[in-house]
Amino acid sequence: DVRHGPILYMEDVTVSFDGFKAINKLNLTIDDGELRCIIGPNGAGKTTMMDIITGKTRPTEGSVWFGSRHNLLQMNEPEIASLGIGRKFQKPTVFEALSVFENLELAMAADKRIFPTLTARMTGEIKDRIEEVLETIGLTGLRFQLAGILSHGQKQWLEIGMLLMQRPRLLLVDEPVAGMTEQEMERTGELLTSLAGKQSVVVVEHDMGFVRSIARKVTVLHQGSVLAEGSMNEVSNDPNVVEVYLGA
């Protein structure tokens, strides 16, 4: 059910820190339902770009739109989150002393749109949603397991599940496969691929093999701007990209 038109539109965005341009005239369009990977050397501006989208960092110049209706530069962080923009940081932050199920329950309760109207009927809906998310993240059989004793990969999937409880429209995912085994990486690829279409997913990732395995379209950032964009084959044959990566 991929919809048409961009979900995210950034035009000529610049961020200066004391005159240093961490982001420099960045143009980026993410289509609704797309899975996009963002790569680039350290210091390219990947984290700052994510911070701009979530409202943590304000651009000095440019515009950032969510869909055609929401000017993100006029909104604060909680307002942006409530539009359905979820961010997964690199380190998993699950509640270790709670079960997998309870972690997902808590993620739903944190949603201010649901909490004030919590009723028996809503509780049933939440249980259904938890089952659905458990299935999606492949942890159905581990629902009563304490999150603290999950493997690293399982914790990462649980945290993605916690974000999914809120039915985000755009998921920002920072280095999802860092520290994962080959097998966990493969399942993470399947998970992220399966999410795209239902929501848009932007993944910042250093592991090129993983990027190649999941992304149809890759954006290469360098010195705060887009250096190249296209399929992994296209960008990895781009002379500018080769120079940046071999020169680094």
The residues of the shown chain that bind ligand ADP, judged by CB under 6 A, are: 17, 20, 22, 40, 42-48
Question: Measured from the CB of residue 58, what is the shortest distance to ligand ADP in angstroms?
Answer: 12
Decide whether 44 or 142 has the Cβ nearer to ligand ADP: 44
Name the nearest CA neighbour of 92 among 154, 20, 9, 10.
154
Question: Measured from the CB of residue 23, what is the shortest distance to ligand ADP in angstroms?
Answer: 8
How far is residue 207's CA from residue 233's CA, in Å, rounded to a whole number? 15
Decide whether 175 or 184 has the Cβ nearer to ligand ADP: 175
Name the nearest CA neighbour of 46 among 70, 15, 67.
15
Decide whether 50 or 81 has the Cβ nearer to ligand ADP: 50
Question: Measured from the CB of residue 209, what is the shortest distance to ligand ADP in angstroms?
Answer: 19
Decide whether 43 or 84 has the Cβ nearer to ligand ADP: 43
Question: Measured from the CB of residue 126, what is the shortest distance to ligand ADP in angstroms?
Answer: 35
Question: Measured from the CB of residue 88, what is the shortest distance to ligand ADP in angstroms?
Answer: 15
Is 161 within 8 Å of 136 (Cβ atoms)?
yes
Decide whether 22 or 30 has the Cβ nearer to ligand ADP: 22
For the CA atoms of 160, 164, 166, 169, the dihedral, rounded to the nearest 10 degrees, stands at 110
For the CA atoms of 197, 202, 208, 212, the dihedral, rounded to the nearest 10 degrees, stands at 20
For the CA atoms of 141, 145, 151, 155, the dihedral, rounded to the nearest 10 degrees, stands at 90
Question: Measured from the CB of residue 4, what is the shortest distance to ligand ADP in angstroms?
Answer: 30
Decide whether 2 or 248 has the Cβ nearer to ligand ADP: 248
Question: Measured from the CB of residue 158, what is the shortest distance to ligand ADP in angstroms?
Answer: 25
Name the nearest CA neighbour of 46 among 33, 36, 34.
36
- Measured CA distances, 108 to 76, 115, 123, 127, 173 (Å): 21, 8, 10, 10, 19
Q: In what order do the strands lie in the sheet with 70-71?
A: 20-31, 6-17, 61-66, 70-71
Decide whether 40 or 176 has the Cβ nearer to ligand ADP: 40
Joined tokens for residue 77: 């962080």
